[in-house]
Amino acid sequence: MESLIQPVINGILLGGLYAIIALGLTTMFGIVKLVNLAHGDLMVLSSYLSLVVITQLGINPFWSMLMVIPIMFVIGFMLQKYLLNRVLGKEMEPPLLVAFGVSIIIQNLLLLVFSPDAQSLMTSISVKTIQLGNINLPILYLVNFFIGCSVVLFLRLFYNKTFLGRAIRAASDDEGAAQLMGVDTKNIFAIAMGIAMITAAIAGILIGMTFSFFPHTGAQYLIISFGVIIIGGLGSMKGALAGGIILAEAQLLGAHFTGPGYQLLIGYLVLLIVLAIRPQGLFGQAH
């Protein structure tokens, strides 16, 4: 039993990172009904932006968020306002194709500028742990979990308590009625994408501090995002947190019992079980 405690704790902490990885994707699906296939690549883009800031200014990766977050908000806003908004409401395929095109462009741009070599955002806490008896708590995993939970809580409060948050929810629930009430829904969708990119920026920097990354890593995190939101429920923020913890636990416990080679397989077997039992996810709404 003692040998199980370490992977269980690591799974909970890693689940916080998985939650924030998926948060932007589930936000955009819940609000705009848009599956953003470029989500993973936009996260990796923020990792590289942080790398540039750190290299040029010599600051801690956490401080680089102050510069990367506004840049990613603007990128998300412009992407939605001037590109994705033009294809909304024209069946599902055009937005998917546009997002896929954006993904390919970002990957090749990063490859051209930064080369295919793996990079990482090193910080002083990357290798530090807290020793509790036989349990090692990686400080970076603790920070990731705390930030992930904080962002989920902040967004829930933002959408429920602020005028802009309620406008975003109104546009999501009934676009036509929101327009009749004077809400510029296209602009609201662009702001929502900007907010999703804020979460992607935070996730990208945390990913860069936790794992190595390279221009084509985005697909890996897109798959993780899909796994998390399928388990937790499309469009649900608390579902993203629950789904992140469940997927991370399944992977790490799977690795503990069957070996690291089966880690991903076990995680996605759990995903299939959830789909079979509850297709809308744990916190999703049945249609």
**Rg, the chain, Cα only:** 19
In this prediction, residue 2 carries a pLDDT of 61
Q: pTM, whole model, 2 decimals?
A: 0.92
Round to whole Å and give the CA distance between 188 and 155.
15
Q: Please determine, for residue 287, whether its predicted confidence score (pLDDT) is greater than 60.
A: no
**Position 68 confidence tier, pLDDT thresholds 50, 70, 90:** very high
CA 111 from centroid of its chain's CA atoms: 22
**Position 1 confidence tier, pLDDT thresholds 50, 70, 90:** low
For residues 63-76, average pLDDT? 95
**Position 67 confidence tier, pLDDT thresholds 50, 70, 90:** very high
Using a 10 angstrom Cβ sphere, with 0-12 exposed, 13-18 middle and 19 or more buried, the burial of residue 278 is middle
Helix (H, G, I), strand (E, B) or coil at 85: helix
Round to whole Å and give the CA distance between 270 and 246.
8
For residues 202-213, average pLDDT? 93
pLDDT tens digits, 235-257: 788 888 999 999 999 999 888 88
Got the DSSP string for 38-50?
A: THHHHHHHHHHHH
Q: Please determine, for residue 153, whether its predicted confidence score (pLDDT) is greater than 70.
A: yes
Provide the percentage of residues in the chain whose pLDDT is more than 70: 98
> Which of 130-134, 194-198, 228-232, 279-283 has the highest average model confidence (pLDDT)?
194-198
Q: What is the largest CA-CA distance in the chain?
A: 61
Question: In sequence order, what are the beta bridge partners of 119?
Answer: 213
Using a 10 angstrom Cβ sphere, with 0-12 exposed, 13-18 middle and 19 or more buried, the burial of residue 279 is exposed
